[in-house]
Amino acid sequence: MHGTKALLNGEILRQALKESVLKLDPRVMIRNPIMFVVEIGFVATLPLAWMPDAFGGGSPVWFNIAVSIVLLVTVLFANFAEALAEGRGKAQADSLKRSKKETTAYKVTGGAVKQVPSTELRKGDIVVVGQGQWIPGDGEVIEGLASVDESAITGESAPVIKEAGGDFNSVTGGTRVLSDRIKVRITSDPGESFLDRMISLVEGAKRQKTPNEIALGTVLTSLTLIFMIVVVTLPFYGRYLNVELEVPVLIALLVCLIPTTIGGLLSAIGIAGMDRVTRFNVLAMSGKAVEAAGDINTIILDKTGTITYGNRMASEFIPVGGATEEETALWAVVGSLKDETPEGRSILELASRKNWTRDERLTEEGSFVEFKAETRMSGVDLKDGRKVRKGAVDAIRKWAIAQGGTVPADLQARGDQVASAGGTPLAVAVDDRIYGIVYLKDTVKPGMRERFEQLRRMGIRTIMCTGDNPLTAATIANEAGVDDYIAESKPEDKIAVIRREQAEGKLVAMTGDGTNDAPALAQADVGIAMNSGTAAAKEAANMVDLDSDPSKIIEVIAIGKQLLMTRGALTTFSIANDIAKYFAIVPAMFMTAIPQMEALNVMRLHSPLSAILSALIFNAVIIPLLIPLAMKGVAYKPLSTARLLRRNLLVYGGGGVLVPFAGIKVIDWLVGLWI
């Protein structure tokens, strides 16, 4: 799925041409009221083209035939635009279907391993996957660690590490284990897997119109009804002026006045917007999420993995209260022997590099205490009754006091020293005594300050959420250049800030990968979950980043803005087109009866019939000419809303007025040569 394919290739083009004819079915066309009116116009002019006398038509046969053909071509062009956008999505879906295969699963049943087809697996089943085997379904690693090839899903050839515990235990069906062996709990039933959802969404089978698209469609339909009323009443005014307005002329006028350009491209713009997000390796669960991204006012960002690299590694043991470095290291190691997090492993690695021995017998029969966002610490309860804890400095301080101990005088200073350097201080205590601090080092990703400045120019506010203490949070926030930060944040804090922003009428986006991020992802208007994250996070979000790059939310916002700009620009262009068509058709219709109308014939077209036909032809050919713009989108630059509006009004509003004058004049010259 990675990479950008060409806008057109032979197979997509051939299929789109075929679909454009099949879509002439009135049951399909009625979903697009504007183009349905054009199709009715074609049906109405067809008899006049071949039997004008039978229907009392007074216009020339060649004109009736030309109008009928142009109306048909107009509908086909609009269908082609939609079919082309759908075709690109179906091409991606086909490649995903090829990667979907029925595999053999090794299901754990009553202590034994039974070989079954992957289609028989249900949510909650446990399977074992070894080296070289395909993962039979979506699930979570509950035991072991393995290197997994996810290139069939993400397009990235580099393998990723999946392990039990933490936020990187989610695996996807259709990926392959390259090394080691893991035990997986299946989290989806057949037909509901991540790959199945990707196929249906990319294929467009579940695409629903977004609120903005529905609103614009309502406006365009209303304009169409208004112009229909105008055209229906014109013959009565014509008879009063002794002007006989023929049916083909009236239909041509109606088709030129209604917003056929945007009507023919509206669906293609929406499909192409979803397609652009997918080609960026982000799976959008709905077009509404893509549109909402374009209107985002606030972004909630996790510090770890988004702003910083996220690989907080132990770099130093700092003793406090008279303890030695070796004592601090000993108890930090004891508290980390059963800790599967990257921070826990890094403590063991640092101790090994310093050649300090560790006594694993201390933790035998001990009870491991997992890290919780509420307590902000983890550890182990030893069998001899002692309790070892490591965690945030203030959390360990409160815990030690609760145990009846005292706080070392130099604890705060040592912690502040680590925090002011941008690191994370991790205090270590045994019962009522605090032995020291583990210095967890993390660094801000390069270029983050520039990216946040870019968001600021777009009018978007950034808020960093971190479990770090206020001093560390302030240092990282200042270095990265975010607008605000929340230190020592818990899952409920993220939800609270999202709700606060939404209560002020703002749209909020958030990235996350852990189970504790799921409530906030669900609350946000745009929630982007990492593919490497937990199943709960992916279920709660309305977008999934297949590359697991949290900073990609910036590009997603740009794509959302591009979608909104493209729709707005082409709507402006379509409506502005009508000005030239007025000057082409209206004088041609009434010039004979009202000589003063000659003043409106600014283009000096060849004849009344050629003027009408030229405007109708331009109305048709402008649709395919704008297909590349609808598919690729209007170029987006991070400017303020006011500047973007002025630029688009000048380019697409002004262009929509000037281009038809030139186009209709050229077509009229060619039509004049023919007739």
By annotation, the residues acting in catalysis are: 302
- State the Cα–Cα distance between residues 110 and 60, nearest whole angstrom: 85
In this structure, the chain runs to a length of 675
Q: Which residue has the tokens 């393995």?
A: 146
Q: How distant is the alpha carbon of residue 209 from its chain centre? A: 15
Is 631 annotated as contributing to ligand binding?
no
Residue 134 in tokens: 């395909």
Is 376 annotated as contributing to ligand binding?
yes
> Which region holds residue 247: left if phi is over 0, alpha if psi is between -120 and 50, else beta?
alpha
Is 377 annotated as contributing to ligand binding?
yes
Is 339 annotated as contributing to ligand binding?
yes
Is 490 annotated as contributing to ligand binding?
no
Is 291 annotated as contributing to ligand binding?
no
Contact by Cβ (8 Å): 386, 365: no
In 10 A of CB 279, how many CB atoms? 18
H-type alpha helices, 100-191: 151-154
4: helix, strand or coil: coil
Q: How distant is the alpha carbon of residue 194 from its chain centre? A: 16
Is 45 annotated as contributing to ligand binding?
no
- State the Cα–Cα distance between residues 69 and 64, nearest whole angstrom: 9
Helix (H) or strand (E) holding 457: helix 448-457
Is 501 annotated as contributing to ligand binding?
no
* Angle at alpha carbon of residue 528, lines to 294 and 206, rounded to 5°: 75
Is 326 annotated as contributing to ligand binding?
no
Is 581 annotated as contributing to ligand binding?
no
HEC string of 477-503 equals HHHHCCCEEECCCCHHHHHHHHHHHHH
Contact by Cβ (8 Å): 34, 223: no
- State the Cα–Cα distance between residues 507 and 557, nearest whole angstrom: 12
* Residue among 124, 159, 151, 149 at smallest CA distance from 138: 124
Helix (H) or strand (E) holding 461: strand 461-465
Is 431 annotated as contributing to ligand binding?
no
Task: Please give the full DSSP string across 279-321, using - where no structure is assigned.
Answer: HTTEEES-HHHHHHHHT--EEEEEIIIIIB----EEEEEEE-T
Q: 442-463 burial string, b = 16+ CB within 10 Å, else e?
A: bebbeebbebbeebeebebbbb
Residue 406 in tokens: 């005292």
Task: Please give the full DSSP string across 527-570, using - where no structure is assigned.
Answer: EEEETTS-HHHHHH-SEEETT--GGGHHHHHHHHHHHHHHHHHH
H-type alpha helices, 163-279: 194-203, 211-240, 247-257, 260-279
Q: Which residue has the tokens 């000048």?
A: 650
Known binding site for Mg(2+): residues? 513, 517
- Residues belonging to the binding site for ATP are 339, 343, 371-378, 390
